[in-house]
C-alpha cells in the first residue's frame, strides 16, 4: 500500500515539476514581447534609462497619441495609412489563399489525376524555399510588370507564399473525413457542391480556420519582402513602417514599441476569436470513435 502511495506522490511531483518548468519556459519566451508591449505605454526617457527601469513609474497613452496625430505633440508618420494597407493586403491575400487552398486541398484529397504526387511534392518544395531568397527575382520581375509599390504586388506575393501551406493543411483535414459521408448525401439527392458545403466543409472548418489564421499572420507580420517591394505611403505596411522611427543617430523606441503593440493586438484578437477552431484543428483526428 505504501508503495502505491509513494508511486502516486512521485508521479504528482513529476507533474508539478513539469508544469513549473513549462511555465518558466513560456515566461522566458514571452518576456521580449511583454517588454515591447509594456514599453509602448512608457515614455522614451524611461525606456532609455540606465540602469534600466524594470517596473514603470507610470503608464501613458501619449505614444499612441503621437503616432496617430492626437494631441499637441505629433510625429510625421502616417500610421493610419500603414494600418489600412496592412489590413487590406493581409485580408485579401488570406481570402484568396484560402479559396485556392480549399479547392486545391479538396482536389488532392478526393480526386485522382495524372502527376498528382509530383504536383503535391512541387508545392511542398516551393513552401520550403525561404521567402527572402525570392526577393531579388521577385523585385526584378515586379519592376518589369509595374507592380513595385502597389498593394496588388504584395497580395500576389503573399498568396504565392501561403497557398502551398493552406493546400497541405486543408488536404489533410479532407482526407480524415470519410468519403462515405459525401456519397451518402449525394445518394439522398444532394449535388456534389451541396454535399461539400453541407457535409464536408463544416467538418473541415477547423482546419480551414487554422490555415486562415496562419495565412493572415504571415501576411500581417512579413517584413523582408514588403520592405523590398514598397516605397510610399500608398503600399507600406506596418512592419515596414517601423523603420520610419529610425534616424541617423537616434531611434524613437517609444513610438516604435507603440506601433509594435498595434501590430500585435489584431493578431492576438484574431487568435482569441478563433481559438476554438484552432484547438479543434490541433486535436482533430487524435481521438477515434
Q: Which long-range contacts (CB under 8 A, 24 or more apart) does 45-52 make?
A: 47/253, 47/254, 47/257, 48/253
Contact between 46 and 56 (Cβ < 8 Å) = yes
Helix, strand or coil, per DSSP, at residue 251: strand
Please check the confidence at residue 286 and state whether its pLDDT lies above 50: no
pLDDT at 283: 56
pLDDT at 287: 41
Please check the confidence at residue 7 and state whether its pLDDT lies above 80: no
Supply the DSSP symbol for 285. Answer: T
Model pTM score: 0.83
Task: Give the dihedral sign, CA 270/271/275/281.
Answer: positive
Contact between 213 and 270 (Cβ < 8 Å) = yes
Contact between 204 and 170 (Cβ < 8 Å) = yes
The kind and range of the H/E element at 72 are none
Instruction: In whole angstroms, give the CA distance from residue 230 to residue 236.
Output: 5
The CATH topology of domain 79-283 is MetI-like fold (1.10.3720)
Radius of gyration of the chain (CA): 24
Among 79-88, 150-159, 279-288, the range scoring the smallest mean pLDDT is: 279-288
Please check the confidence at residue 179 and state whether its pLDDT lies above 70: yes
What residue has cell string 515591447? 36
Query: End-to-end distance of the chain based on CA atoms, in angstroms?
Result: 36
Contact between 124 and 168 (Cβ < 8 Å) = yes
Contact between 230 and 237 (Cβ < 8 Å) = yes
pLDDT one-digit tens code per residue, 210-231:
888 889 999 999 998 999 999 8
* Burial status of residue 163 (CB atoms within 10 A of its CB: 0-12, 13-18, 19 or more): buried
The kind and range of the H/E element at 48 are none
Q: Where are the domains of the chain?
A: 2-63, 79-283
Q: What are phi and psi of 84, to 5 degrees?
A: -60, -45
pLDDT at 289: 39
Best CA proximity match to 119, nearest among 131, 110, 107: 107
What residue has cell string 510610399? 232
DSSP-H helix ranges across the chain = 2-39, 44-47, 62-68, 79-110, 116-128, 135-145, 151-175, 179-187, 192-195, 201-221, 224-229, 238-241, 253-273, 275-283
The alpha carbon torsion through 238, 244, 249, 250 (nearest 10 deg) reads: -60
Give the Cβ contact number of residue 241 at 10 Å: 25
- Choose from 3-12, 36-45, 70-79, 123-132 the range with maximum mean pLDDT: 36-45
Q: What percent of the chain has pLDDT over 70?
A: 91
Output the nine-digit C-alpha cell for 141.
Answer: 520581375
Amino acid at each position: 500500500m505504501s508503495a502505491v502511495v509513494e508511486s502516486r506522490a512521485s508521479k504528482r511531483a513529476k507533474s508539478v515539476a513539469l508544469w513549473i518548468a513549462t511555465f518558466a519556459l513560456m515566461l522566458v519566451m514571452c518576456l521580449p514581447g511583454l517588454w515591447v508591449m509594456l514599453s509602448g505605454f512608457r515614455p522614451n526617457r524611461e525606456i532609455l534609462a540606465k540602469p534600466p527601469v524594470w517596473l514603470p513609474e507610470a503608464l501613458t497613452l501619449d505614444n499612441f497619441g503621437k503616432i496617430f496625430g492626437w494631441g499637441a505633440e505629433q510625429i510625421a508618420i502616417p500610421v493610419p495609412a500603414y494600418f489600412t494597407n496592412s489590413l487590406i493586403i493581409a485580408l485579401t491575400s488570406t481570402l484568396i489563399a484560402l479559396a485556392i487552398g480549399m479547392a486545391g486541398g479538396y482536389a488532392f484529397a478526393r480526386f485522382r489525376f495524372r502527376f498528382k504526387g509530383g504536383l503535391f511534392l512541387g508545392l511542398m518544395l516551393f513552401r520550403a524555399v525561404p521567402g527572402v531568397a525570392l526577393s531579388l527575382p521577385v523585385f526584378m520581375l515586379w519592376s518589369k510588370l509595374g507592380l513595385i509599390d502597389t498593394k496588388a504586388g504584395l497580395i500576389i506575393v503573399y498568396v504565392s507564399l501561403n497557398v502551398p501551406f493552406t493546400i497541405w493543411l486543408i488536404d489533410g483535414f479532407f482526407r480524415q473525413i470519410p468519403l462515405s459521408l459525401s456519397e451518402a448525401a449525394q445518394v439522398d439527392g444532394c449535388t456534389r457542391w451541396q454535399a461539400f458545403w453541407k457535409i464536408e466543409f463544416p467538418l473541415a472548418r477547423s482546419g480551414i480556420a487554422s490555415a486562415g489564421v496562419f495565412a493572415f499572420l504571415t501576411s500581417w507580420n512579413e517584413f523582408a519582402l514588403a520592405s523590398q517591394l514598397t516605397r510610399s505611403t500608398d503600399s507600406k505596411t506596418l512592419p515596414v513602417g517601423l523603420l520610419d522611427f529610425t534616424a541617423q543617430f537616434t531611434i524613437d523606441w517609444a513610438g516604435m514599441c507603440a506601433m509594435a503593440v498595434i501590430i500585435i493586438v489584431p493578431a492576438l484578437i484574431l487568435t482569441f476569436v478563433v481559438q476554438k477552431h484552432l484547438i479543434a484543428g490541433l486535436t482533430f483526428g487524435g481521438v477515434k470513435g
